[in-house]
Amino acid sequence: MQEARFRLRNDHHIVGYRRMHGQRAFFSKDGMWWNGEPLHGFWEDAWTGLKDRNNQYLFVQDIVEFEPTEGAGVRLGVLEQHGSDMGIRCIEEDILYPLNAFGFPLFHGRELRWISYLFLQDR
């Protein structure tokens, strides 16, 4: 069973992380040292279940470089969540590429590179 992770933030400031093991919640300010003392953030960005090629956790609202199909060239995209489905919305083409199809991953972490946080960008 994959653990559920969340990035906690107040608007543009990341205050920490929460991870769930069954019904138990653990919190960390830096993602390295965990304890049961709650951290409070106004927003929770869900973990996509992926790490990028540099081993960085990728969360919803992250901007990443990706290649939609082999040979298509590198694009910029935003990780999004719609219900339980997650995907990468290509910024240049406004196309949503799902992360999984029929239970199989369409992207692997080594194919993605974290660039920035969407919540830091002017819309």
Amino acid, res. 1: M
- Domain span at residue 41 reads 4-118
The answer to whether residue 106 sits within a structural domain is yes
Tokens 């906690």 label which residue?
8
pLDDT reported for residue 122: 58
Task: Tell me how many domains the chain contains.
Answer: 1
Q: Is residue 24 assigned to a domain?
A: yes
Q: Is residue 91 part of a domain?
A: yes
Within a domain: residue 123? no
Domain membership of residue 79 (yes or no) is: yes
1-33 burial, b for 16+ CB within 10 Å, e for fewer? eeeebbbbbeeeebebbbbeeeeeebbbeeeee
Provide the 3-class DSSP secondary structure of residue 118: helix
What phi and psi, each to the nearest 5 degrees, are found at residue 29? -85, -25
Tell me if 29 is assigned to some domain: yes
Let me know if residue 105 belongs to a domain.
yes
Rounded to whole angstroms, how far apart are CA atoms 65 and 28?
Answer: 27
Q: Is residue 95 part of a domain?
A: yes
CA distances to 13, 22, 29, 63, 120 from 32, rounded to whole Å, are 18, 20, 8, 22, 23
- Read off the pLDDT of residues 83-93 as tens digits, 9 standing for 90 and up: 989 999 999 99
Read off the pTM: 0.90
pLDDT in tens, 43-78: 999 999 999 999 999 999 999 999 998 888 999 999
